[in-house]
Amino acid sequence: MAGRNHPYSRTLNSRPSNIVDTHRLIHSHRQPQANPAAVIEAQQREIQILLRDNQRLAANHVVLNQELAAADQELRHLSSTAAKVKADCDARVREVYESSLKTEAELRSLDAMSVELVQVKSDIENMTVETKELTAKLREINEALASSAPQLEGFPGIEEELQTMRQEIKRGRAAIEYEKKMHASNLEQSEVLDKNVVSMAREIEKLRAELADAEKRAKAAASAAAVPAPPGTGYPPVFPMAEAAYGGNYYAEHYSLQQVQAHGASYYGHGGVPHVPATPYDLQQSNVLR
């Protein structure tokens, strides 16, 4: 390519006229009327011309050898660069794939937690119903105590039973307060889990975008490395096409995340929280005299 405008081509174009002059000199030498001194002088001029052409050819040969060596070195450099780019792309794709596997495992754990959250919500609803029933019973007991207080003043030992009932009433009130606090704590934990689900969904979309970008870069690097060598150098193409190295997208989309509303409410309901142990207060152990 660099030798198209080289002086060697101009020398080759100018040689046929010199050859014709040489043939004319030879034919003129064969004629008996030609001057030998003129023939010798013409031959010397032709020898000088041939010598200069030979020197030009030698210089062109050296230049072509240097250009060939430079092209060979550049080809080797491009081959090593393409190999490095391919290795970097492979490492990046492997890293993104491992990140996607980790995120997928975390999503599976979140699915298991969602089932537990539904169960906790059901338990909270049942405990709310029981709390209302206990409140109604406590109200009835207080009314019964208020109505039977004048009658119980004359009986011995009633004071101890009243004290026991008061303690159980206090215990029931403490249990109600504990249930209220646990309900508020469960609501807070449910909101935190909803925010975590939203952030995990965004992280998954980001990882998918990075994976697609890494695959595009890998295909571009492989396509650049698949450019054939310059003609006449004797080197075949080094790398295959990008489709042979990367056969499409290895990662199918396994999950379809639901859209989360802007106010942060969970799609499992307002009661989705981790399962909590039962209240330490045994509300069934009290013996209430009706």
Q: What is the pLDDT of residues 48-81, one digit of tens each?
A: 999 999 999 999 999 999 999 999 999 999 999 9
Tell me the C-alpha distance between 18 and 24, whole Å.
10
CB-based contacts of 260, cutoff 8 Å, min separation 6 = 194, 197, 198, 201, 267
In a domain, 189, yes or no: yes
In a domain, 289, yes or no: no
In a domain, 285, yes or no: no
pLDDT at 149 over 80: no
In a domain, 267, yes or no: no
Q: Which residues of 142-165 are buried (b: 16+ CB within 10 A; e: fewer)?
A: eeeeeeeeeeeeeeeeeeeeeeeb
Tell me the C-alpha distance between 238 and 82, whole Å.
10
Beta carbons of 195 and 264 less than 8 angstroms apart? yes
Q: CA geometry: angle at 94 spanning 250 and 203, to 5°?
A: 80
In a domain, 78, yes or no: yes
In a domain, 213, yes or no: yes
pLDDT at 133 over 70: yes
Query: The domain containing residue 195 runs over which residues?
Result: 7-245
Number of domains in the chain: 1
In a domain, 25, yes or no: yes
Q: What is the pLDDT of residues 171-228, one digit of tens each?
A: 988 989 998 888 888 888 888 888 898 999 999 999 999 999 998 988 888 888 876 5
- Site of tokens 């990662």: 251
User: What is the share, in percent, of the chain residues with pLDDT greater than 90?
Assistant: 23
Average pLDDT of every residue of the chain: 73
**Can you tell me the mean pLDDT for 145-155?**
70
pLDDT at 270 over 60: no
Q: How many residues does the chain have?
A: 290
